[in-house]
Amino acid sequence: MIVVKFGGTSVGDTAAIERLAEIVRSRLARRPIVVVSAMGGATNALIAIAEQAAEGQLISAIRGVEALRARHLTTAEQLLGNAPQAREVMEELSATFDELASLAEALSVLGHATPRSKDAISAKGEMLSSLLVTAALSARGIPAEHVDATTVMITSDQFGKAEPRQERIAEASQRILRPLVERGAVPVLGGYIGSNEQGIVTTLGRGGSDYSASLFGAALGAEAIEIWTDVDGMLTADPRVVQGARLIDRIRFDEASELASFGAKVLHPSTITPAVRLGIPVYIYNSRNPAGTGTLITFDAPKRPVVALAGKQGVTVLRVRSPRMLLQHGFLRTLFEVFDRHRTSVDVVATSEVSVSVTIDDATHLDTLVVDLSHLGDVSVERNRGIVAIVGAGLTDSSESMSRALAALKSLRVHMLSLSASGINLTILVDGDQVSEAMRRLHAEFFTDAAA
Ligand code: ADP
Ligand code: ASP
Ligand code: MG
C-alpha cells in the first residue's frame, strides 16, 4: 500500500487531473490511496471569501463563490463529458457551492468570522477537489472511491491549525480505508481537512495536505508516501529565488524537515514526523514529469556537508537583556514558558552573558509576549528580519563549510548566527530584504561546479 498526494497545481485544471489519473493508474499494483489538495489557488480564494463576507462585502464574496463554481464545473465537464459519473458529481459540486454561498451570507450577517467558520469555508476546496478527482478517476476505469476525510482525520479543536489525534486516525484508517484497499478500490481523500471529536470541520494549517498524506501513510503502515508537486523534487534551493537550483536525489529525514521548517515550501514542516517514526520512505516527484527520478527522503542518505539552503522572510526577533537574571537558575525555563503560554514557537535562539535573542515566525501574540517578557528584563523587538538556513548532516564534520558560508555573504549584515544542537543546520539572521541575495551568494558558493 502506498499513499500518493497531489498538490494544488497537480489538480489545478483538466490537463493536470488527466496526468494525475495516469500516474495513479501506473501505481495500481501498489494499492494506492490518493490524497489531494484543493485546486491551485482555491484555498486562497476561499479565505478571501470568508474575510470579505465577514467585512460585509457580500457581493464580492458571492462573486468569489461563483468564480470558483465556474472553474470547478467547467473542469468537471471537460473531464467527464457524458460519463455516467457526470450528473451525480455536478450535483454534489453544485450543492457544495450553494452551501458555501449560504455560509458567506451567514458571515456577512454576523459581521465577523471565527477560526471555526473560516475552517468550514476553507475546507471546501479539498472537499470539492476530492469529489472531482474521484469522478475523473472512475470515468477512466480506475476503481476510485471517495472518502470524506473528516471521518478519518480526527483532530484537536484548534481551528486553523488543528493537532492530529494519531491514535484516532490510525483506528479510523484501519476501519475505513484498509477494507477499501483490500477489496481493490482506490480511496480518494482531501488533504488538509479533518474534524474534531464532535465532527466539526477543522484544518491542519496551510500546506497541510502533505501532513495528511504522511499521517494516513503512518496510520496504515504504507510502504511509501509519494508527494506529487510542480518541481522535479527537493532542490538545493527554492527555484523561484535561485536560478539553477539542483535536484537532490536522496536526502535524510532530519535534513528535509529542517529545510521544510526554514521555508522550503515543497514540504509541510510536520510531514516527515509521522513517516520517520515508522521509517516510511517519502518521495517527491513532478506530476508534469512523471518519468523523473524525484527525491527520496530516507534515514540513510549519504552524509554531505551542505545538502541545501532554505530561507524565509517576515521573521521577528525578540531580545531580552537581563544582566541580573540571566545566569540565575530557572531563567531560561521561565523565558520559554512565556512563549509556550502564548502558543508561539521559537525558531532560533542565541544567548550571551547578559541577553537572550530568539526569533519567531508568528507574531500574532507579539504584544502580549512583550508585556510578559518585560517582567524578565528589557525587551527589544526587531521586525522584518529573515533567516537563511544552511543544512547538511556533515556540516560540523569540519569548520570549512561554516567559514565558507560567512565569507560568501561578504558585505551582507549578519544579525545572529546559530548552529543547531544536532549540528545539521547553520541559521543566519539577515535583513528580510536580503534573504534572496544571501541565498544566491551561498548557492553560488556551495553548488556551482567551480566551487563544489
Ligand atoms: P503543492 O501545491 O504541490 O503542495 P507547493 O507550492 O506547496 O506545491 O510546493 C512546491 C513549491 O515549493 C515549488 O514550486 C517551489 O517553488 C517551492 N520550493 C521552495 N523551496 C524548494 C526546494 N528547496 N525544492 C523544491 N521546491 C521548493
Ligand atoms: N489547500 C491547502 C493550502 O493551500 C492545503 C495544501 O494545499 O496543502 O494551504
Ligand atoms: Mg504544498
Give pLDDT tens digits for 203-230: 999 999 999 999 999 999 999 999 999 9
pLDDT for the residue 245:
97
Please report the atom of ligand 1 found closest to the CA of residue 259: 23
Q: What percent of the chain has pLDDT above 70?
A: 98
- Cα 245 to Cα 269, 285, 302, 409, 436: the distances in Å are 20, 16, 19, 18, 13
Binding site membership of 149 for ligand 2 (Cβ less than 6 Å)? no
Name the band, by pLDDT with cuts 50, 70 and 90, for residue 452.
very low
Please report the atom of ligand 2 found closest to the CA of residue 126: 1
Distance between CA 43 and CA 232 in Å, rounded? 24
- Decide if pLDDT at 360 tops 70: yes
Q: Does domain 2-230 have CATH number 3.30.70.2610?
A: no
Q: ∠135-139-142 over CA atoms, to 5°? A: 90
Report the relative pairing of strands 144-146 and 32-36 from DSSP bridges: unpaired
Please report the atom of ligand 1 found closest to the CA of residue 227: 3
Q: Where are the domains of the chain?
A: 2-230, 308-447
pLDDT for the residue 327:
63
- φ, ψ of residue 299 to 5 degrees: the values are -65, -40
HSE-CB at 255 with a 13 A cutoff on CA atoms is 30
Please report the atom of ligand 2 found closest to the CA of residue 205: 9
Going from the Cα of 263 to the center of ligand 1, the distance in angstroms, rounded, reads 10
What order do you get walking across the sheet with 186-190 strand by strand?
A: 144-146, 186-190, 32-36, 2-6, 224-229, 282-286, 295-298, 250-252
- Mutation to probe ligand 2, out of 46, 68, 209, 216 (largest number of atoms < 8 A from CB): 209
Q: In the predicted model, what is the mean pLDDT of residues 110-127?
A: 97
Pocket of ligand 1 (CB under 6 A): 7-10, 37, 207, 229-231, 234-235, 237-240, 264-266, 308
- Mutation to probe ligand 1, out of 265, 307, 309 (largest number of atoms < 8 A from CB): 265
Binding site membership of 190 for ligand 2 (Cβ less than 6 Å)? no
- Mutation to probe ligand 2, out of 37, 49, 118, 227 (largest number of atoms < 8 A from CB): 37
Residues whose CB is less than 8 angstroms from the CB of residue 376 and which lie 6 or more positions away in sequence, other chains included: 320, 322, 325, 331, 334, 335, 338
Report yes or no: 390 and 426 within 8 Å, Cβ to Cβ.
yes
Going from the Cα of 193 to the center of ligand 2, the distance in angstroms, rounded, reads 9
Q: ∠247-189-240 over CA atoms, to 5°? A: 25
- Decide if pLDDT at 324 tops 90: no
Looking at this protein, which amino acid is placed at residue 129?
A: S
Cell of 128: 470539492
Ligand nearest to C-alpha 20: 1
Among residues 318, 322, 316, the alpha carbon closest in space to that of 355 is found at 322
Going from the Cα of 337 to the center of ligand 3, the distance in angstroms, rounded, reads 31
Going from the Cα of 227 to the center of ligand 3, the distance in angstroms, rounded, reads 9
Q: Does domain 308-447 have CATH number 3.30.2130.10?
A: yes
210 or 355, greater pLDDT: 210
- Decide if pLDDT at 16 tops 60: yes
Q: In the predicted model, what is the mean pLDDT of residues 341-365?
A: 89
Residue nearest to atom 10 of ligand 1 (CA): 266
For every residue of 116-147, DSSP letters joined together read HHHHHHHTHHHHHHHHHHHHHHHHTT--EEE-
Please report the atom of ligand 1 found closest to the CA of residue 234: 24
pTM: 0.93
Distance between CA 310 and CA 435 in Å, rounded? 9
Task: Give the chain's mean pLDDT.
Answer: 94
Distance between CA 240 and CA 289 in Å, rounded? 18
pLDDT for the residue 155:
98
Going from the Cα of 367 to the center of ligand 2, the distance in angstroms, rounded, reads 29
